[in-house]
Structure 1
Amino acid sequence: MCCGSCAKCLGTTLIPLAVLATLANILLFFPGGKIIDSENITVYVWYFGGILGSGVLMVFPALVFLGLKNNDCCGCCGNESCGKRFAMFTSILFAAVGILGSGYCFIVSSVALNIGPKCLQAGQTKWEYPFVDGDYLSNHTLWNRCVEPESIVPWHLTLFSILLIISGAQVVLCAIQAINGIFGTLCGECKCCGCCGVRLPLWTA
């Protein structure tokens, strides 16, 4: 069984995804690549789905997963692989944290895509949400409603879609580790035990 190796692979994948999610969320604070007043920024950007949900909260599970491969498996209280089993059980809890964080980002991104960006329409002075129930997703001619900031619709659509895909991938990866952790907890991973490389006698196992 290679539960630790699987966890390390998942952790290695989660780190760059967390970084990308954080960067995508930061870019959303600059609609169309421009600096605008904070009150004119889409409210869903301020929910920090990418920074908090798929970013910060994802770092902790990723680091735990990365450390499982090198976790000490000497055992405890004479019980073979007890330490490894406990570590795998702990990883299940952190996987749950990862699922909650990425799930939060997934929901925020989904709602933001459905609502659309906040922008200034021609002949108006107040920034509003001109789209309804994601109608702009299938009808690109509606994008012309937004005159400022320039290219706000594709900017909004691209970055929140990236967050949606990243958070969805993170949910799947954390769910895989939760299952992997259950197997590791029940079955263990160390084929030989003994602290500091010394095998324990069979009668102590």
Structure 2
Amino acid sequence: MCTGKCSRCIGGALFPLAVTSIICNILLFFPGWDTKYARDEHITEEVKYMGGLVGGGLMVLVPALHIHLTGKRGCCGNRCGMFLSIAFAAVGVAGALYSFAVAVLGLQNGPLCKVVAIWMTPFKDRSESYLTDRSSWSTCWEPKNVVEFNVGLFSTLLVVSGLQLVLCGIQMINGLFGCLCGTCNSKGPL
């Protein structure tokens, strides 16, 4: 496969991953599918870091666009475009790493929830992980099923950012080869 086609595939794969990351982060602002928690600022701290929106979303979406364009004929489908794709892919790596780190923290610390009458993060700084002890999840009274909600969305962000990291890393290598060897675009239609 030539470097141009590889760029198009990588760019095409990064688009849905970035959109998934953005959607997951937006959904995390509405635990229990209710807006009142966002209005009252009863949102898990890691959600406010916006790792999925900024890191895995915008910081990957912009590079995905350029990476995809390097696989086409025209202004970006040349050695210079492939060189620039290395820098854009590095931005994507940084965004994916940020999203990954925030997702790990979100899973490690657990959600902000109401325990009896106090809003707190009951699973933070515990010696054993709450992730393997489902019986402890009933500690959170409100929002309903907030532990499952956060675990599901932060796990999705973790997987998505991991895939973004791998794809952007591959593009950095592909961009290097494209910069040194060309994009195969001049040999005929893609």
What is the TM-score when the length of structure 1 is the normalising length?
A: 0.84
When Rg is computed on C-alpha atoms for both structures, the one with the higher figure is 1
Decide whether aligned partners of structure 1 residues 137 and 192 sit closer, same or farther in structure 2, where only a CA change above 3 A counts: closer
Give the superposition deviation at 1:72: 3.1
SS in 2 for 1:163: helix
Q: Secondary structure at the match of 1:127?
A: strand
Equivalent pairs: percent with the same residue?
46
- Residues in 2 aligned to 1:136 and 1:157: alpha-carbon distance in whole angstroms: 10
Aligned to 1:173: 167
Give 5+ residue unaligned stretches, structure 2. Answer: none
Relative to structure 1, the CA distance from residue 192 to residue 20 in structure 2 (aligned partners, 3 Å threshold; closer, same or farther) is closer
Once the two structures are TM-superposed, the CA of residue 189 in structure 1 deviates from its matched residue by: 2.9
Identify the residue that residue 79 of structure 1 maps to in structure 2: none
Distance 2:31 2:8 in 1: 36
Deviation, structure 1 residue 157: 0.2
**What corresponds to 2:66 in structure 1?**
64
Q: Quote the residue 2:97 is aligned against.
A: 103
Aligned residues, how many? Answer: 183
Partner of 2:22: 22
The verdict on how the C-alpha distance between 1:192 and 1:104 changes in structure 2, with shifts beyond 3 A counting, is closer
Task: Find the counterpart in structure 2 of residue 115 from structure 1.
Answer: 109
Segments of structure 1 that go 5 or more residues without pairing to the other structure are 74-82, 198-205
User: What is the alpha-carbon distance in structure 1 between the residues aligned to residue 17 and residue 71 of structure 2?
Assistant: 20
Cα distance, 1:60 vs structure 2: 1.1
Counterpart CA distance in 2 for 1:157 and 1:110 is 10
8 Å Cα contact 1:114-1:133 kept in structure 2: no
For normalisation by structure 2, the TM-score amounts to: 0.90
- Deviation of the 1:66 alpha carbon: 1.2
Q: Return the offset for 1:71.
A: 3.2
Q: SS of the counterpart of 2:144?
A: coil
| Counterpart-to-counterpart distance in 2, 1:38 and 1:168 | 32
Alignment of 1:35-114 (within 5 A): 35=35, 36=37, 37-72=39-74, 84-114=78-108
Structure 1 residue matching 2:165: 3-state secondary structure = helix
Specify the code of the residue in structure 1 equivalent to 2:15. I
User: Paired residue for 1:128?
Assistant: 120
Q: 1: CA distance between counterparts of 2:158 and 2:131?
A: 15
- Give distance in 2, aligned partners of 1:191 and 1:42: 48
* Cα distance, 1:38 vs structure 2: 4.1
